Amino acid sequence: MKLISRTIVIVITIALFVWLYRACMSVRNLSHSIRDEASYACVIVESAGGATAVLLACRQLAETFAPANGRLFYDVPITNNGIPSILRKMNLKEIHVGKEYVLIDLDEPGHRAALLAFPVGASEFGSTVITNGLWYWNGTPSKETREVSRAFDASVESYYHKGGN
């Protein structure tokens, strides 16, 4: 009887160890994929002309398309001629101009690449800083990203209602 009890305890302990190991590896792989996506966003920014140029283009966009009449954000159609050419090089999916940010969602299959750009002196937030004023954001909601999350969710809902895939 004691032998059976010990065997059961050993089997349960090994199973628990294997489960914990797999759970830890899963979290580790997730953090690696987030870092990889941030690196990928940096490559996109550099290929478009560099972080400073992209940030200046976003700030120009914010001045041109600032939300008015109490709106939280303004969706800029990606076909709009007012979008700076440096941003057009980045395979745009959606652009949202908020009161204190510009959110650029890039259409990159297999990658989640979103950028947040901020005016001088604004509170900055995101997942990974690219340069002062320009951040990669993985879309994870937080206290700081509540307004951005609402804009993003509204945009996604609108996209699917229009028949997007």
97 lies in a domain? yes
E-only strand ranges, 23-68: none
CA–CA dist 101, 14 (Å, integer): 50
47 lies in a domain? yes
Strands of 102-106's sheet in order across: 73-76, 92-98, 102-106, 113-117, 134-137, 128-131
13 lies in a domain? no
Contact present, 106 and 90 (Cβ < 8 Å): yes
52 lies in a domain? yes
Taken as a whole, the chain contains a residue count of 165
40 lies in a domain? yes
17 lies in a domain? no
pLDDT digits (tens, 9 = 90+) for 57-106: 999 999 999 888 777 788 898 888 989 999 988 888 889 898 889 999 88
E-only strand ranges, 7-47: none
Q: Note the pTM of the prediction, 2 decimals.
A: 0.66
Contact present, 82 and 19 (Cβ < 8 Å): no
> What's the number of domains the chain is made of?
1
9 lies in a domain? no
12 lies in a domain? no
pLDDT digits (tens, 9 = 90+) for 92-113: 888 989 888 999 988 767 666 7
> What is the residue range of 40's domain?
33-161
